[in-house]
């Protein structure tokens, strides 16, 4: 067996075989959104989404309205980009000023991920706080990096991101309805949204038993809309007992998951699940998540409508933008301490 650089080695309790029980009869739900065209079925779809958000924090959707050919085009162009020599790719490398573009050294929970990524802001430029200091109200603009090759890269990714955003907002309406809230409850939160599209490439790995494509984590966003290819490897931890389940690739489906913001807004009714990516020795894998993120000034705290004397808020609020800038510092290098987590905002009980 080839040696693996120790920076990639996961602690034994986080490796791909830990708490994974193969051949479980249960599956993460796959919901057909074309059923929304049938008036008599709309309410069922809404409650199935609500149940999935509560039980798993994950589901897949089919007939979701993101055109197949747009997805095929983006899959093709990103592969052309990642196949370029490293000298080309690092021309659009992420830096401390603009934390987007190409990157091959991300750390999740301080262990290096076996992957390379390319991030693209949905809004270019995007507005973010200029510092992590809560008293400092300064803002700055951050800009996308644009690879010169392939020439359609930027346009194709942006087109795909527009469709993914539309779907994310549609799902957000259905989620609001499932909570008994007005459909537009969350609309104001996205005026200066900090959403971004990420392209993940997981190269074949000599030791998938020790390394992970992405270590166990929760997404910090509102909801994620992820296109995965046919290779497979994404796993989710079941809310009730922490057992890991595979998210099986379903042709043309998109994987949806609840992020920390939604978990906090719903005061833990909806679940932001831990997930991870297992790699393999022979095949590269691609996935393209769209992370729906609020504007920098949105306060992430349990919604008033969803708390009561019997169900008091479980989190103190935080400003989304400040959380993002604090979090982003840690993507570059291994830190001595764990980076900021939503549990830091939990109310002591
Ligand atoms: C992520 C992630 C899963 C995948 O990028 O946050 O969880 O299947 N990706 O690549
Ligand atoms: Ni994730």
Residue whose CA is closest, atom 5 of ligand 1?
289
pLDDT tens figures, 317-338:
999 999 998 887 654 444 445 5
Give buried/exposed letters for 241-275 (b at 16+ CB in 10 A, else e): eeebbbbebeeebbbbbbbbbbbbbbbbbbbbbbb
Q: Quote the pTM value.
A: 0.95
Q: Which two tokens stand for residue 341?
A: 């987590």
Query: Which parts of the chain sit beneath pLDDT 50?
Result: 1, 331-336
Instruction: Work out the angle at residue 27's Cα, subtended by the Cα atoms of residues 23 and 32, and round it to the nearest 5 degrees.
Output: 150
Q: How far is the CA of 292 from the centre of ligand 2 (A)?
A: 12
223-228/285-292 β-pairing: antiparallel
Instruction: Determine the residue of 287, 291, 327 to mutate for testing ligand 1's pocket, defined as the one with the most ligand atoms within 8 A of the Cβ atom.
Output: 287
pLDDT of residue 1: 47
pLDDT of residue 334: 47
Strands, sheet with 196-202, edge to edge from the N-terminal-most edge strand: 30-32, 58-62, 254-258, 223-228, 285-292, 196-202, 116-121, 101-103
Using alpha carbons, select from 107, 72, 99 the residue that is nearest to residue 288.
Answer: 72
d(CA 259, CA 340): 15
pLDDT of residue 164: 98
Protein residues whose CB sits closer than 6 Å to any atom of ligand 1: 198, 200, 214, 219, 226, 228, 234, 275, 277, 287, 289
pLDDT of residue 25: 81
Q: How far is the CA of 43 from the centre of ligand 1 (A)?
A: 30
Q: Are 200 and 288 in contact (CB under 8 A)?
A: yes
pLDDT of residue 107: 84
């Amino acid at each position: 067996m080839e040696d693996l650089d120790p920076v990639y080695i996961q602690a034994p309790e986080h490796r791909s075989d830990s708490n994974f029980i193969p051949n479980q009869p249960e599956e993460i739900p796959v919901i057909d959104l074309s059923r929304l065209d049938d008036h008599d079925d709309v309410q069922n779809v809404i409650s199935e989404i609500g149940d999935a958000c509560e039980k798993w924090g994950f589901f897949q959707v089919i007939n979701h309205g993101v055109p197949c050919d747009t997805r095929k085009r983006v899959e093709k162009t990103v592969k052309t980009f990642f196949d370029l020599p490293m000298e080309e790719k690092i021309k659009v490398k992420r830096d401390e000023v603009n934390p987007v573009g190409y990157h091959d050294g991300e750390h999740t929970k301080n262990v290096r991920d076996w992957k390379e990524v390319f991030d693209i802001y949905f809004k270019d430029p995007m507005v973010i706080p200029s510092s992590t200091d809560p008293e400092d109200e300064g803002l700055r603009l951050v800009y996308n990096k644009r690879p010169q090759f392939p020439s359609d890269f930027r346009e194709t990714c942006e087109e795909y991101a527009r469709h993914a955003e539309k779907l994310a907002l549609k799902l957000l309406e259905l989620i609001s309805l499932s909570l008994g809230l007005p459909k537009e409850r969350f609309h104001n939160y996205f005026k200066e949204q900090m959403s971004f599209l990420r392209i993940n490439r997981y190269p074949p790995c000599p030791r998938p038993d020790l390394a992970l494509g992405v270590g166990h984590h929760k997404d910090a966003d509102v909801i994620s809309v992820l296109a995965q290819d046919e290779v497979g490897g994404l796993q989710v931890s079941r809310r009730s007992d922490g057992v890991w389940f595979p998210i099986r690739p379903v042709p043309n489906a998109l994987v949806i998951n609840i992020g920390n913001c939604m978990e906090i807004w719903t005061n833990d009714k909806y679940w932001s699940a831990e997930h991870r990516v297992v790699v393999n020795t022979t095949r590269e894998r691609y996935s393209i998540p769209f992370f729906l993120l609020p504007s920098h000034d949105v306060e992430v705290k349990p919604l008033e409508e969803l708390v009561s004397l019997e169900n008091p808020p479980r989190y103190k609020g935080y400003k989304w933008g400040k959380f993002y800038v604090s979090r982003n510092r840690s993507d570059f290098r291994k830190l001595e301490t764990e980076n900021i987590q939503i549990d830091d905002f939990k109310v002591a009980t």
